[in-house]
Structure 1
Amino acid sequence: MTKPKNGVEEQRSRVSRRERSKLFSSLLGHWSKEESKRQENDEPLAYFPKPFVRAYVGLLFAGVVASVVAYAVLVYLVPGMDKDRADTLRTALLVVGGSGAVAALYASYRKQRTDEHIYIRDQDKLFTERYNAAAGQLGSEATTIRLAGVYALARIADDSKRDRPTSLSVLCAYLRLPYDPDDSNADVCERQVRITAQAIIAERLRSHHPGFWMKAEVNLRGACLIDAGFEGIEASSFDATGATFSGPARFDTAKFSHNALFGDAEFRDDAWFVNKVTFGGVAKFDGARFKGRAMFHSATFDGSVSFCKAKFKGKIAKFLGVTFNETVQFSGAELDHAGFELAEFFKGVDFGDHTTEFDERINDATFDEPPGLFMTKCSEKYPPRWPVGYTHPNQDWIVWF
């Protein structure tokens, strides 16, 4: 049973909601300006037809000229046509009739294009009104209204492919607002709103969803994410620099086609980057703090990887069967129990430049015990950088290629 709030806690909660409303109102103003700029950039795509009278008269005039030319050709160049000039004239007048038909087709085409332009303009107006209403709901102090705003933005994104990046940006901006779910005074209702927003984002980052946000650029810098379930997502870039992950963070089978940034992020529970997670670009975990298990089983890193000064203070850090296609940096990292069994290093692994005692450190990386290297594959051209004069106790287990 939830403990009732006392007067001080209730007042603090109300102040927090007002501050959140003010912050989001300022964000709403920013996104409204961005939306206006986007519409201005889209304006050249609108349909601006030429003056109708000029075009229509031009088509008729061209038909008359064509009929005169046709009559002259038939009379003077076609043998026998000069004897029956009435029949020749009828043939020439058919050209005029054809030009009239062309003019009618043009009028119909013009009307169709104009109707389409009016429809698009009305749709833009409708989506703008829906967007402003939804974003305004997110700034409300009432939980139910904020939830309605989250679902409204999701519906807008589902209905309008062009408005998906804007809807994603607003939802991410909301999650970046200050909030700590582990605080004893945290608003329980706000927690539910955030979990819903996270779920909507994650659902639409999966390719099987009808409203899949293709090539999405996710900006969750400094956000607080609760029981983050991003399994199977596909994103062009994912920026969670300085983010806080409260509860388990799941990124199973995720695909990041470009940069994946988790520098200075805090994982308060287990972090799962397993089951063939693919990092297509730069992957940064510099300064990240893993307080639970850090699992990277069967992940593939196609770009450069950096865990510089990362702290793995949980039970275990496992890179079982991981493929590193570029250089891996662990300079200054702290690992309690690290395992690289069956991993593949194609461009080498670097533990830093400072040589210290191996009992506690490998170069500038700290271990409680030597990292596991059973059947680890390393390139002879790019061998692991160990301290000068030091030989890893299990180095014979490395498979060289």
Structure 2
Amino acid sequence: MRRYGLAATIALAALALFGVSAALPVFDGRVNGADALRTGGLAAGSVVALYALWLNDRRRRVEERRQELEGDRTELDRERIADERFARAVELLGHEADQVRVGALHALAGLARSSPGHTQTVLDVLCSYLRRPFAHPRYDGGEWERDERNAADRELQVRLTAQRLVTDLLPEAAPDAPAYDLDFTNATLEYFDLSGRRIGTLVARYARLFHDNNLSRCEVLGPVWMTAASTHAGGRFRCRDAVFRGRAQFAGVEFGGPVVFDRSVFHGVANFRGAALHSQVSFAGCRFEGVAKFAEVTCADADLDALLGEAAVVSERE
């Protein structure tokens, strides 16, 4: 096409040169031969200049397309490398050495930071690791051999690393921050701090919570499912100034230690039906903007009506 275009351009330029040079003296007797030839040369040069502009535009479009292809190829290579890193890290989570498992957890977190599109998948893997059955002497008591106790201590360090990385990967509560889902069904958690984080859906059915776990100042956009979760060994559950945008399901929870929901806001249904509160409980300054269900709740520390009387708003109670 470029060869034919060049030939056509030369032909048009020659035609413009001779045509204009011959036509000008005929239509304007004042123009001499030199001026006519000069004007014809300008016309021929204009034709050549237009062809040069077309070539430059064509070259520019080809270069842009080449850059787009290189960008697509680079992105595909980046995704392939990320997938390989992810697969390798997940494989190492089954390694018998605890330091290798810790390294695999950090590799997954690094992948989520460098490739935000993998964040939810990495969080799913971390949550899955925390859902694995786990026992420790200070949880379950009983007689433990020295090797078993040491193995449990090493595994506990791995799990605490997984908890910390989950917290680090969650964005702080802000209107424009993304919201990721967490699933801790049947998980064993200790000193888990999600305070000030933004969460999509939070699932912790039948979770076992030890020592001190914190949801204060967090914002949960989706539903919260903590059905039959429990705190043990006098562990605290702190949930001050939290915002629950969807349904908050705490039915059947058993809190063995102090529980604090001060100034938290429940926009949807708040279901505490059948909850067992064995220690100090506080709902001071809470707002229940949806239906608040407290049927069959047992409080060892104080009367439930007195506790809810401290709440700022209880729009409807069942």
TM-score normalised by length of structure 1: 0.65
Do the aligned residues in 1 keep the contact of 2:292 with 2:314 (CA within 8 Å)? Answer: no
Number of the residue aligned with 2:317: 349
Question: 1:219 corresponds to which residue?
Answer: 183
Where 1:258 maps in the other structure, the secondary structure is coil
- 1:250 is displaced (CA, Å) by 1.1
Comparing both structures, which one devotes a greater share of its residues to strand?
2
Amino acid at match of 2:84: E
Deviations 1:321-373 (A, max 9, x none): 101111100122222224124313352111xxxxxxxxxxxxxxxxxxxxxxx
Matched, 1:178 2:133: yes
Distance change in 2, residues 1:344/1:111 (3 Å): same
2:293 to 322, 329, 354: 329
Query: In the TM superposition, what is the alpha-carbon distance from 1:180 to its structure 2 partner?
Result: 2.7
Residue 80 of structure 1 deviates from its aligned partner by 6.2
2:206 partner SS: coil
Write the deviation string for residues 138-169 of structure 1: whole angstroms up to 9, x where unpaired. 11111111111111111111111111111111
Q: Which runs of 5+ in 2 are unaligned?
A: 28-35
C-alpha offsets along residues 93-143 of structure 1, whole Å, 9 cap, x if unaligned?
A: 211111100111012112211211121111112111211111111111111
Could you tell me whether the CA contact under 8 Å between 1:321 and 1:340 is conserved in 2? no
Contact preservation (8 Å) 2:287, 2:312: yes
**Which structure's residues are more often helix, by fraction?**
2
Q: In the alignment, what sits opposite 2:120? A: 165
Aligned position for 1:280? 245
Q: Which residue of 1 aligns with 2:229?
A: 265
In 2, Cα distance between equivalents of 1:63 and 1:133: 59
Whole-Å separation in 2 of the counterparts to 1:205 and 1:62: 61
- For residues 82 and 177 of structure 2, what CA distance do their matches in structure 1 show? 18
Residues in 2 aligned to 1:331 and 1:305: alpha-carbon distance in whole angstroms: 12
- Residues 252 and 273 in structure 1, CA contact (< 8 A), matched pair in contact too: yes
Matched with 1:353 is none
Could you tell me whether the CA contact under 8 Å between 2:252 and 2:275 is conserved in 1?
yes
Match of 1:98 in 2: 53
In structure 2, C-alpha distance between the alignment counterparts of 1:254 and 1:277, rounded to whole Å = 5
Distance 1:301 1:80, change over 3 A: farther
2:236/2:257 contact within 8 Å kept: yes
Whether the 8 Å CA contact 1:164–1:213 is kept in 2: the answer is: no
Give the root-mean-square deviation of aligned CA atoms.
Answer: 3.0
Aligned-partner residue type, residue 279 of structure 1: F
% identity of equivalent residues: 21
Partner residue of 2:213 out of 234, 237, 249: 249
Task: Assess, with a 3 A threshold, how the Cα gap between structure 1 residues 259 and 61 changes in structure 2: closer, same or farther.
Answer: farther
- The answer for the alignment partner of 1:131 in structure 2 is 86
In structure 2, distance between residues paired with 1:349 and 1:224: 32
For the residue of structure 2 that corresponds to 1:110, the secondary structure is helix
> Does the CA contact (< 8 Å) of 1:321 and 1:341 recur in 2?
no
Equivalence for 1:340:
308
Please tell me whether the aligned partners of residues 63 and 100 of structure 1 are also in contact (alpha carbons under 8 angstroms).
Answer: no
Distance 2:7 2:288 in 1: 71
Q: The residue matched to 1:193 in structure 2 has which SS?
A: helix
Please, what TM-score do these two structures have when normalized by structure 2? Answer: 0.81
- Which one has a bigger Cα radius of gyration? 2
Distance in 2 of aligned mates of 1:342 and 1:64: 90
Residue 93 to residue 173, structure 1, CA distance change in 2 (3 Å): same
Structure 2 CA distance for partners of 1:157 and 1:64, relative to 1, 3 Å: farther
RCO higher in 1 or 2 (8 Å CA, sep ≥ 6)? 2
